[in-house]
């Protein structure tokens, strides 16, 4: 138990960047109070303790089992890379599909305190669109996801139609683009760019170059939100990227970009 809370380690080695478990847990509890409310959070904490003690009770109250607000969207499940409809060399550079926590995302975005209307939001490797669904709740100038798997892009397109049908879109525009993040061209305007460990260091290097090339001349601060930053060294070594915070004990890293 003591090791779990205080070591700087990955919960799922190989799938998660090393981070401080104590700080992550503290922020996760805070975020659940903030967005889910008191009772679901207390039940979630009790369920977590029960699971640590290997008691087969309260499983359905674990935070991951309590699920997302968007139960009406098809964003769940894990799609392993070998099951993505991509050629082998692209599979090798990619990670599997898995939706991120919308609550962590909302907390990180809201702390930026930016004028949403001036900003485009871009998700590199948007999958079925789970984070697009969370991002469109803010009045961004546009919300765009780039996804290279046609199969996942088509699911995202259906989800987007459903978001529009339910009037849950506060952003001016919302799209899923079928394509490779490394070749996606950004409009030269303010951006919040989000990445949930979608690809390897080489693609990240290409993406970082694209961002600094395409956004040159943009006056407003540009932010890069890196969730599960397995290849953060690529950005740490790039003098146009400046790390400004490491939320959730380093399970996220937030950079400001000066193209
Ligand atoms: C971990 S999932 C993230 C899903 C979503 N962004 C979220 O946070 O919930 C990573 C996604 O990136 C996609 N991906 C991987 N490499 C890519 C690339 N080079 N271009 C576009 N999408 C890519 C995968 O197909 C997968 O859907």
- Specify the residue with its C-alpha closest to ligand 1, atom 5: 126
Give the rounded percent of residues in the chain with a pLDDT score beyond 70: 97
What pLDDT score was predicted for residue 94?
Answer: 97
Look at the block and give the residue holding tokens 């009406």.
72
Residues 6+ apart with CB under 8 A from 204: 195, 231, 234, 235
What pLDDT score was predicted for residue 57?
Answer: 85
CB 73, CB 129: distance < 8 Å:
yes
What is the pLDDT of the chain when averaged over all its residues? Answer: 94
pLDDT tens digits, 180-226: 999 999 999 999 999 999 999 999 999 999 999 999 999 999 999 99
235 pLDDT higher than 80: yes
The CA 2 to ligand 1 mean position distance, Å, reads 34
- Specify the residue with its C-alpha closest to ligand 1, atom 16: 94
CB within 6 Å of ligand 1 — which residues? 84, 94-95, 97-100, 123, 125-127, 130-131, 146-149, 152, 180-182, 196-199, 203
As given in the structure block, the two tokens for residue 27 are 């922020």
Bridge partners of 243, per DSSP, are 255
Nearest CA to 4 out of 29, 22, 31, 24 is that of 22
Q: Average pLDDT for residues 109-118, to the nearest whole number?
A: 98
- Specify the residue with its C-alpha closest to ligand 1, atom 27: 127
pLDDT tens digits, 23-37: 998 999 999 999 999
What pLDDT score was predicted for residue 9?
Answer: 77
The CA 108 to ligand 1 mean position distance, Å, reads 19
The pairing of beta strand 97-98 with beta strand 78-79: antiparallel
The CA 43 to ligand 1 mean position distance, Å, reads 31
What pLDDT score was predicted for residue 8?
Answer: 77
The CA 198 to ligand 1 mean position distance, Å, reads 4
The CA 152 to ligand 1 mean position distance, Å, reads 9
Tell me the CATH number for domain 78-257.
3.40.50.150
Of 64 and 209, more confident: 209
Q: How far apart are CA 250 and CA 61, in angstroms?
A: 26
As given in the structure block, the two tokens for residue 29 are 């509890």
Q: Among 83, 88, 109, 125, which residue has the most ligand 1 atoms within 8 Å of its CB, making it the best to mutate? A: 125
- Specify the residue with its C-alpha closest to ligand 1, atom 9: 99
What are the residue ranges spanned by the domains of the chain?
Answer: 2-66, 78-257
2 pLDDT higher than 70: no
The CA 196 to ligand 1 mean position distance, Å, reads 7
The CA 23 to ligand 1 mean position distance, Å, reads 26
Q: What count of Cα atoms within 13 Å lies in the side-chain half-sphere of residue 232?
A: 23
């Amino acid at each position: 138990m003591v090791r779990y809370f205080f070591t700087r380690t990955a919960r799922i080695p190989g799938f998660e960047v090393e981070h401080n478990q104590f700080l992550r847990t503290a922020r996760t509890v805070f975020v659940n109070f903030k967005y889910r409310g008191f009772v679901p959070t207390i039940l979630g904490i009790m369920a977590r303790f029960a699971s640590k003690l290997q008691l087969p009770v309260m499983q359905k109250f674990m935070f991951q089992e309590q699920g997302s607000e968007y139960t009406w969207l098809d964003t769940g499940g894990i799609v392993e890379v070998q099951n993505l409809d991509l050629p082998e060399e692209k599979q090798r550079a990619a990670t599997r599909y898995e939706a991120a926590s919308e609550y962590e995302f909302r907390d990180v975005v809201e702390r930026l305190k930016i004028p949403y209307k001036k900003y485009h939001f871009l998700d590199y490797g948007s999958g079925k669109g789970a984070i697009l669904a969370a991002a469109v709740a803010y009045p961004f100038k546009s919300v765009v996801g780039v996804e290279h798997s046609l199969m996942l892009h088509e699911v995202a397109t259906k989800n987007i139609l459903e978001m529009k049908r339910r009037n849950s879109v506060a952003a001016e525009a919302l799209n899923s683009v079928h394509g490779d993040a490394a070749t996606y061209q950004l409009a030269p305007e303010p951006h919040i760019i989000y990445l949930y460990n979608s690809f390897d260091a080489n693609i990240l290097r290409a993406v970082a170059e694209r961002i600094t090339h395409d956004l040159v001349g943009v006056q407003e601060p540009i932010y890069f939100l890196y969730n599960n930053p397995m290849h953060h060294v690529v950005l740490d070594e790039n003098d146009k990227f400046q790390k400004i915070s490491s939320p959730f004990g380093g399970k996220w890293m937030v950079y400001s970009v000066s193209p």
